[in-house]
A and B are shown apart, each in its own frame.
Chain A
Amino acid sequence: MTLSKKKTRIVSIALIALLFGFLAIVDNFLGSYNVRILSLCAINIILAIGLNIIYGFTGMFSLGHAGFMAIGAYVATLLTMSPATKTANFFMVPIEPWLLNIQLPFPVSLLIAGFVAALFAVLIGLPILKLGDDYLGIATLGFAEIIRVIINNLPSITNGSMGIKNLPDVTNIYIIYAIAVLTVFFAYRLSNNSYGRALKAIRENEIAAEASGINILKHKVLAFSIGAFFAGIGGALLVFWSNTIDPKMFTLTATFQVLTYVVAGGLGNITGSVVLAFTFTFLMEWMRFIEGPMNLGFITVHGVPGMRMLLFSVMLLVIILKFGKGVFGDYEFSINGIINFFKNLKKKSTKKGGSKNA
């Protein structure tokens, strides 16, 4: 049995309301540490969805995510900061005068950040998206590094390697989650759409897709820039979340972290990206206790810094070996799917009574 469209919509809205109710509880009762971690989870979800659209949906192996994050982060920062904080930050090399007095409301600058990242994606996508698999990976990796090096060497715009501190406190957990929900919603719509099908067709077989009348370059650039848009937004949220911006935040490690969520969750699988981004972010924090000194009764272990990374990589290995197609494989979360699951459970437990409903 499946619910009607209307009912499904109502249940979805109820679930989202529930989520925000939960966030309100966390926000009011559980302390700022938990709030920050939960916010970071949502930011990583946005980043993961962005990469999933590029790599999972369209099959373009991109290692340039950190580059787009950096672009979004710097654009949003420079557009949102007040002139006073800008002058205070740029004490070595003064900021470009035309940048000094720009100050836009946060939502506007966040959108612009996303669009600038997408624009860069179009510009570099047009020449390099013709490349296949690994070559595209190398080209995009190069792009991300170029962006980082440029940022490091433009002190009058980005304050170079010193980064920028005291970013205005404009985000909160509700805003971040609202954006995350919108991102997931958009990805879901894209996945079940004629355009989504075209992207997946390109992933499955580019030559056949072209022979089916799909304009390869147009669709690749489209997916690449949509992914970059979300990377830009996610990058901007990340720096506002941490209140500082620093070129070192956007090294290859940042890309790989996001890539981990996408691959471990299952390529092209939205549920996988969301759940894995959430759990991995959470576990990374929670596992900190491993690095502290522990008393195991017979022996006392001194903390080993970096121990959680070790455990984390073991976990990753297990996931990759155990689930070749990611934890979720082809399974996508849906309200009807959950209902059917419980229905089947019920049927199994009452099997003795015979079949009531055909």
Chain B
Amino acid sequence: MPDSTSVLQLNSLTIQFGGLVAVDNLSLNVEKNDIFGLIGPNGAGKTTVFNMITQHYTPTAGEVVFNGENINGTRPDLVVKKGIARTFQNIRLFTKLSVKDNVLAAMHMDLGMNWLPAILRLPPYPNKEKEMSKRADELLEKIGLLEFSNEPSGSLPYGLQRRLEITRALATNPTLVLLDEPAAGMNPQEVVELTNFIRKMRTDFDVTVLLIEHHMSLVMKLCEKIAVLNYGVKIAEGSPLGGGRRCSKLIICILNTVEFTLLKELVLKCQNVKL
């Protein structure tokens, strides 16, 4: 039975590409307002899990339960409407469109008007357009991108492009945000900024966050729960700040994956845990 506070439940999710089992019997439970980290070596199937949650891939077996509803087989754009928004590993912005238009495009699904009256600007279109524009400005101001609203989004510096992608995801009014390697390619300073940003985003927008990340410093600081994926199999799950189960396996796995320098940090944190 789904927990009352459970936002996302994956029930023995499996996907096969030909003979390859990319994700094998994965079960997860993400609770409301969690920041949940999904880690593992390259090719472990983390992004595939995201693609199954957003229904870009159809799982071979198992189900994705979102807010108590099985969303298997829903069209990807309707999944967004239900409240799951995502960002991508390699930034995917509408590069030639302005920053504001990027956000407005994500609000298009809420327009709720047929194309012809909308294009001819029949009422209530002008009001709706004004409303959307106001909402976009508010959102951009909150994130701190308002000063760039008329710049083409492709001309923004890398860190801000990442931030804009998250903003665009937030523009769809999600309850669950999937972040695919939000800190990829960032320097330590930017990673710290991003950590604070994601934390602030959770409270400001009342969202649940599921993120994939290789920067262990970010994961350790940010996530309340972590699941480790290796060759499509979940090998560990727990919290990074002690009390985590099967921490030893976690360390072994992370040995294979991420920066060795950060390993020390992890070991220190796990010291309190009985291995």
B94 touches A205 (CB 8 A): yes
Question: Quick one: given A211-B86, A213-B172, A214-B109, are A197 and B121 in contact (CB under 8 Å)?
Answer: no
Question: Quick one: given A215-B75, A215-B77, are A209 and B105 in contact (CB under 8 Å)?
Answer: yes
- Minimum Cβ distance to chain A for residue B62 (Å): 22
0 or 1 for each of B146-172: is its CB under 8 Å from A? (1 = yes): 000000000000000000000011011
A214 touches B92 (CB 8 A): no
B76 touches A212 (CB 8 A): no
Within 8 A of A (CB), among B93-121: 93-97, 101-102, 104-109, 111, 115, 118-121
Verify if B57 is at the interface (C-beta below 8 Å from A).
no
Verify if B229 is at the interface (C-beta below 8 Å from A).
no
B108 touches A194 (CB 8 A): yes
Interchain pairs with CB closer than 8 A, number: 96
Contacts of B169 in A (CB 8 A): 211-212
B119 touches A201 (CB 8 A): no
Question: Quick one: given A195-B108, A195-B118, are A201 and B81 in contact (CB under 8 Å)?
Answer: no
Verify if A190 is at the interface (C-beta below 8 Å from B).
yes
Question: Quick one: given A211-B85, A213-B108, A215-B75, are A200 and B118 in contact (CB under 8 Å)?
Answer: no
Q: Chain A contact residues (Cβ within 8 angstroms of B): what range?
A: 20 to 34
A211 touches B119 (CB 8 A): no
Q: When chains A and B are docked, how far (Å) is the Cα of A201 from the Cα of B93?
A: 9
0 or 1 for each of A152-185: is its CB under 8 Å from B? (1 = yes): 0000000000000000000000000000000000
Contacts of A330 in B (CB 8 A): 96
A197 touches B104 (CB 8 A): yes
B88 touches A207 (CB 8 A): yes
* B108 interface neighbour in A190, A197, A216, Cβ under 8 Å: A197
- Minimum Cβ distance to chain B for residue A138 (Å): 26
Contacts of A194 in B (CB 8 A): 104, 107-108, 111, 118, 128-129, 132
Question: Quick one: given A204-B94, A207-B92, are A193 and B172 in contact (CB under 8 Å)?
Answer: no
Contacts of A197 in B (CB 8 A): 97, 101, 104-105, 108
B77 touches A216 (CB 8 A): yes
Q: When chains A and B are docked, how far (Å) is the Cα of A194 from the Cα of B120?
A: 11
Verify if A208 is at the interface (C-beta below 8 Å from B).
yes
0 or 1 for each of B49-61: is its CB under 8 Å from A? (1 = yes): 0000010100000
0 or 1 for each of B66-96: is its CB under 8 Å from A? (1 = yes): 0000000001110011000110100011111
Count contacts on B: residues with CB < 8 A to the other chain: 37
Contacts of A198 in B (CB 8 A): 105, 108
A208 touches B81 (CB 8 A): no
A189 touches B121 (CB 8 A): yes
- Minimum Cβ distance to chain B for residue A221 (Å): 11
- Minimum Cβ distance to chain B for residue A22 (Å): 28
Verify if A210 is at the interface (C-beta below 8 Å from B).
yes
* A212 interface neighbour in B96, B121, B172, Cβ under 8 Å: B172
A200 touches B104 (CB 8 A): no
A212 touches B105 (CB 8 A): yes
Within 8 A of B (CB), among A214-232: 214-216, 222
B115 touches A195 (CB 8 A): yes
Interface of B is mostly: helix
Q: When chains A and B are docked, how far (Å) is the Cα of A190 from the Cα of B119?
A: 5
Verify if A135 is at the interface (C-beta below 8 Å from B).
no
Question: Quick one: given A200-B97, A204-B97, are A195 and B119 in contact (CB under 8 Å)?
Answer: yes
**Beta-carbon nearest neighbor of B91 in chain A:** A208
Verify if A186 is at the interface (C-beta below 8 Å from B).
yes
Within 8 A of B (CB), among A274-294: none
B93 touches A205 (CB 8 A): yes
Within 8 A of B (CB), among A113-164: none
A212 touches B80 (CB 8 A): yes
Contacts of A211 in B (CB 8 A): 54, 76, 80, 85-86, 88, 92, 169
Q: When chains A and B are docked, how far (Å) is the Cα of A213 from the Cα of B93?
A: 14
A200 touches B111 (CB 8 A): no
Contacts of A210 in B (CB 8 A): 56, 76-77, 80
**Beta-carbon nearest neighbor of A204 in chain B:** B94
Within 8 A of A (CB), among B15-45: none
B109 touches A213 (CB 8 A): yes
- Minimum Cβ distance to chain A for residue B192 (Å): 27
- Minimum Cβ distance to chain B for residue A36 (Å): 32
Q: When chains A and B are docked, how far (Å) is the Cα of A216 from the Cα of B80?
A: 13
Contacts of B172 in A (CB 8 A): 212-213
Contacts of A193 in B (CB 8 A): 118-119, 121
- Minimum Cβ distance to chain A for residue B94 (Å): 4
Q: When chains A and B are docked, how far (Å) is the Cα of A214 from the Cα of B97?
A: 16
Q: When chains A and B are docked, how far (Å) is the Cα of A192 from the Cα of B196?
A: 36
Q: When chains A and B are docked, how far (Å) is the Cα of A233 from the Cα of B56?
A: 38
**Beta-carbon nearest neighbor of B172 in chain A:** A213
A201 touches B86 (CB 8 A): no
Contacts of B88 in A (CB 8 A): 207-208, 211
Q: When chains A and B are docked, how far (Å) is the Cα of A213 from the Cα of B108?
A: 8
B92 touches A208 (CB 8 A): yes
Q: When chains A and B are docked, how far (Å) is the Cα of A196 from the Cα of B101?
A: 10
- Minimum Cβ distance to chain A for residue B106 (Å): 4
Contacts of B75 in A (CB 8 A): 215
Contacts of A215 in B (CB 8 A): 75, 77, 109
Q: When chains A and B are docked, how far (Å) is the Cα of A71 from the Cα of B101?
A: 36
Contacts of B104 in A (CB 8 A): 194, 197
Kindly list the 7 A-B residue pairs having the minimum CB-CB distance in the complex, ordered from nearest. A213-B109, A213-B80, A204-B94, A208-B92, A212-B106, A201-B105, A198-B108
A–B pairs, 7, beta carbons within 8 Å: A189-B120, A194-B108, A197-B101, A210-B77, A210-B80, A212-B108, A213-B106
In the complex, besides A210-B76, A212-B171, A213-B81, 6 extra interface pairs with C-beta distance below 8 angstroms are A189-B120, A193-B119, A207-B88, A213-B172, A214-B109, A215-B109
